[in-house]
Amino acid sequence: MPKKNVFIIGLDDFNRDKLERLPQAKECEFHAALDISDIRNVDQYDIKHLIDKATRTMEAFDGTVDAITSYYDFPGTVMTPILAERFGLPGPTLESVLKCENKYWSRLEQRKVIPDHIPQFRAFDPFDDEAYAGLGLLPPFWIKPIKSFRSYLAFQINDERQFRAVMPLCREKVGFMGEPFLYLMRHFGAPPEIAEMPERFVAESPIGGWQCTLEGYSYNGRVHIYGVVDSVHEQDSSSFARYEYPSSLPLEIQHRMMDVARMVVQQFGLDNSAFNAEFFYDQTSDQVWFLEINPRVSQAHTDIFEKVHGVSHLSVMVDLALGRKPKPMERKGQFNVAGHFMFRTVESGKVVRVPSAKAIDKLRQRQPGTYVKIPVKPGQHLKDLQGQDMYSFEIANVFIGGRDQTDMLDKYDEALAVLQFDIEKDPDPVIT
């Protein structure tokens, strides 16, 4: 029986290995509609070119085209429904995806169904010199582009001076994702009041607490949640230190979050799609806060799901792309808990030395199952890294499984001895 051909937008080696280990690999072959190099570490996003390139690749394929999907944020998530419709394949509607991706439109839709679970918010134009006065929000508050990922151009604002200090950078960089996203909004059916609005940023009152992410999917109108991941921050920082699975959050709180997520997904009309929804739980006020929703699996969680379940949640993504209900995620993994650790530096500079392959191999021999990714190389300047938050640079990723949290954290302490970088530091930190 011929295999089904599943096309991936942004296929990379790390996740290709995960895909090849899925049970579905016996019946599927995985192909790149676009390579990872087409959508990451690029100078610009030419959306029309990317859509045309993926279309040509799929049309020229000698065989059936059975599915299209992506585990990457922009432009992967927004291209998926466009290509699915073009090739008559299962997938979510573009409108439902855009409601997730546009942070302001998303908040407007959320306010209709979960007004008590979202912060105050205002859209503003960073090119308007009087924008601060028109916000009507008391600091501190957060600002971020209407379209971004991984906290790109997201700043905590404590006063008007700081707001004005970051505006030149916001004006300079907002077009990198903002312009191609606007192209999509204007050419693929977003309502004019959203697609034509001059405001490019959104300001939100602060929310916080225990942060976690719900991984789920919607299939034929029914919403399912299959995993909750804790997002642990660096001490006294908004930057993430690790993702830990499964969550330690009390089940009663997890179920409250699940109820909120279901209302949002159904309000957006997101169906036949995976999603991940980010939340805060404020333990002092017993308040569940909804941060955002992404219409995809989180590729940052693939390894930790594989360590606990025996297969990654890319299994869910593939089933949905093929138009079928995903199978339950069973606990058949090698570990009880798993973490994706992000090793960071707050000081900018040029990379001189990275951990040696020999040292990493020795660590993996001592810790079966541990995997280390080094996304930087000697000679590279940290300011050239894309997809970073505005307060630190992520220079290593360590994936660790353990019997329990203590065992996992002990292994990371051992791994830290291996993560030796030499960085020729710049005189100024990331953000002052």
pLDDT at 431: 46
Strands (E), 147-235: 155-157, 201-204, 210-219, 222-233
Domain match, 190 and 259 both: no
Domain match, 243 and 197 both: no
Domain count, the chain: 3
User: Would 338 be classed as within a structural domain?
Assistant: yes
Render pLDDT for 139-162 as a digit per residue (tens, 0 to 9): 999 999 999 877 788 999 999 999
Of residues 209, 206, 207, the one with CA closest to residue 282 = 209
pLDDT at 148: 85
CATH number, domain of 418, equals: 3.30.470.20
Domain match, 70 and 172 both: no
Domain closes at, from 62, 97, 132: 97
Domain closes at, from 180, 204, 228: 204
User: Would 113 be classed as within a structural domain?
Assistant: no
Q: Which domain holds residue 180?
A: 120-204
* Interatomic CA distance for residues 344 and 394, integer angstroms: 5
CATH number, domain of 185, equals: 3.30.1490
Q: Coil, strand, or helix at residue 377?
A: coil
Domain match, 289 and 419 both: yes
pLDDT at 157: 97
pLDDT at 377: 92
User: Would 415 be classed as within a structural domain?
Assistant: yes
User: Would 109 be classed as within a structural domain?
Assistant: no
pLDDT at 308: 99
User: Would 358 be classed as within a structural domain?
Assistant: yes
pLDDT at 234: 83
| Amino acid in position 53 | K
Domain match, 141 and 265 both: no
In Å, what is the CA distance from 281 to each residue of 211, 242, 264? 6, 17, 17
Domain match, 214 and 349 both: yes
Domain match, 354 and 302 both: yes
CATH number, domain of 68, equals: 3.40.50.20
User: Would 155 be classed as within a structural domain?
Assistant: yes
pLDDT at 86: 98
- DSSP classification of residue 150: T
Q: Count Cβ neighbours within 10 Å for each residue of 315-343 and write b for 16 or more, e otherwise.
A: bbbbbbbbeeebeebeeebebbbbbbbbb
pLDDT at 239: 80
Quickly count: other Cβ atoms within 10 Å of residue 409's Cβ.
17
Contacts 24+ apart (CB under 8 A), 413-417: 414/363, 414/366, 414/367, 415/341, 415/363, 415/367, 415/370, 415/372, 416/343
Quickly count: other Cβ atoms within 10 Å of residue 52's Cβ.
11
Domain match, 345 and 229 both: yes
User: Would 114 be classed as within a structural domain?
Assistant: no
Quickly count: other Cβ atoms within 10 Å of residue 429's Cβ.
13
* Interatomic CA distance for residues 146 and 162, integer angstroms: 20
User: Would 319 be classed as within a structural domain?
Assistant: yes
Query: Which residue carries 């051909």 as its tokens?
Result: 5
Domain match, 189 and 215 both: no
Domain closes at, from 66, 97, 128: 97
- Judged by phi (left if over 0) then psi (alpha if -120 to 50, else beta), residue 380 lies in beta
Domain match, 423 and 316 both: yes
pLDDT at 360: 95
Listed in sequence order, the residues at least 6 apart from 175 whose beta carbon sits closer than 8 Å to its beta carbon are none
Packing angle, helices 302-309 and 13-20, rounded to 10: 30
Domain match, 46 and 28 both: yes
Vertex 18: Cα angle to 4 and 311 (nearest 5):
95
Listed in sequence order, the residues at least 6 apart from 344 whose beta carbon sits closer than 8 Å to its beta carbon are 234, 239, 241, 392, 393, 394, 395
Domain match, 275 and 367 both: yes
Give the pLDDT means over successive 10-residue stretches in the chain (432 positions): 96 96 98 97 93 98 98 96 98 97 97 99 97 95 91 92 96 94 88 94 97 98 98 82 98 99 99 98 98 97 98 98 97 98 90 94 96 93 78 92 98 94 77 42
